[in-house]
Amino acid sequence: MQSTGLRYFLAVARTGSIAAASAQLNVAASAISRQIANLEAELDCVLFERRPRGMVPSPAGELLAQHAHQVLIRSEQVVTEIRELEGLARGLIRVACSEGFSLDIVPNAIAAFHADHPGIRFEVTVQPPAQVTQTVAAGDADLGITFALTPTAQVEVLYDGQVDMLALAAPDHPLARAPVLRLVDLLHYPVALPTRDTTLRQVFDAACAHEGLTVEPVLTANKLSALLPFVRRSRGLALMSALSVRTPLRLNELVSLPIQSRASLARGIKVQAMRDRRLPRAVRAFLRQLLDALPPPRSP
């Protein structure tokens, strides 16, 4: 079986139609149909079932999809390793991360790495934490960095750390010089929070419940970046990790205030890679750059 046929087959399995695969691959639909027909003739079986919702892999197709995915990952790794013979002159690094890391940590690490290795290209995908892990486990990203509440066996954890939650405020906020805040202090100011499906909100709500408090946010958003203008232009407070806003804090555009609570406000940080995969040299070099920007890992 040729890799081209497997790649076309896998695209149809993922998208659910030949037309969608054609658009994704920028390949004529007739060429994709021909490759799938060749595979079915070679294997003497039907690989797809035509259903109202699209083309769904048959039991044989599901087995082939698993095989095709592994074959293509191995082929890509071989090509990458061959290119590594040129050192760090060329290559592509794919990073999946949750939004908290896409605002500051990841782009700054990429900028620093690019200064030393301008031939390396990057592709960053911002996803919810659980989806980051899935993307890495599937081999669709070289590295994943995300806040995580529970461990998973699907990936190898290259870094395990944690970071506390802070309150962010404008430099002229009445509490800007307070040495520490209590959760009850938040009741007296407008609060901006991410949505309930985020790890930050889950940890925050649990800590408030532990103290019998209910904090009703004035602003709720599914993007952390939407909270920052509100904080800058109001007497509001936003809850966030300092890792997400290192640059605004360094430039004194915002101030951070530690929060004292009975329950922990810390969240786990995981840097992940696909289990049992040998990372290309460029990825290993960028990993070192990324880890330098993170807090020291937790002790075993």
Q: Is the pLDDT of residue 86 over 70?
A: no
Domain count, the chain: 3
Give the H or E element holding residue 168. strand 155-169
Do 136 and 282 sit in the same domain of this protein? yes
Do 186 and 249 sit in the same domain of this protein? yes
- Boundaries of domain holding 276: 90-158+271-293
pLDDT tens per residue across span 246-258? 999 999 999 999 9
Tell me, what CATH number does 31's domain have?
Answer: 1.10.10.10
Q: Is the pLDDT of residue 151 over 70?
A: no
pTM: 0.70
Do 47 and 185 sit in the same domain of this protein? no
pLDDT of amino acid 81: 65
pLDDT of amino acid 207: 95
Q: Is the pLDDT of residue 80 over 80?
A: no
DSSP 3-state of 268? strand
Please state, in angstroms and rounded to a whole number, the distance separating the CA atoms of residues 179 and 183.
14
pLDDT of amino acid 122: 95
Do 43 and 131 sit in the same domain of this protein? no
Domain boundary among 51, 81, 111: 81
Share of the chain above pLDDT 90, in %: 53
φ/ψ of residue 216, rounded to 5: -95, 110
Tell me, what CATH number does 166's domain have?
Answer: 3.40.190.290
Do 45 and 10 sit in the same domain of this protein? yes
Tell me, what CATH number does 127's domain have?
Answer: 3.40.190.10
Q: Is the pLDDT of residue 85 over 60?
A: no
Do 112 and 196 sit in the same domain of this protein? no
Instruction: Decide if 99 is inside a domain.
Output: yes
pLDDT of amino acid 292: 92
Instruction: Decide if 299 is inside a domain.
Output: no
Q: Using pLDDT thresholds of 50, 70 and 90, give the confidence band for residue 300.
A: low
Share of the chain above pLDDT 70, in %: 95
DSSP 3-state of 31? helix
Residues 71-88 as b/e (b if ≥16 CB within 10 A, e otherwise) read beeeeeeeebeebeeeeb
Average pLDDT over residues 97-105: 93
* Residue 15 to residues 9, 40, 54, 126, Cα–Cα distance (Å): 10, 19, 9, 20
Do 100 and 167 sit in the same domain of this protein? no
Neighbours of 114 (CB within 10 A): 15
pLDDT tens per residue across span 179-202? 999 999 999 999 999 999 888 999
Average pLDDT over residues 259-287: 91
pLDDT tens per residue across span 33-77? 988 888 888 888 898 888 887 888 998 888 888 888 887 777 777
Q: Is the dihedral of CA 153, 154, 160, 163 positive or negative?
A: negative
Q: Is the dihedral of CA 102, 108, 109, 110 positive or negative?
A: positive
DSSP 3-state of 237? strand
| Residue carrying structure tokens 């990324």 | 290
Q: Is the pLDDT of residue 241 over 80?
A: yes
Do 282 and 146 sit in the same domain of this protein? yes
pLDDT tens per residue across span 123-150? 999 998 889 998 998 889 999 999 876 6
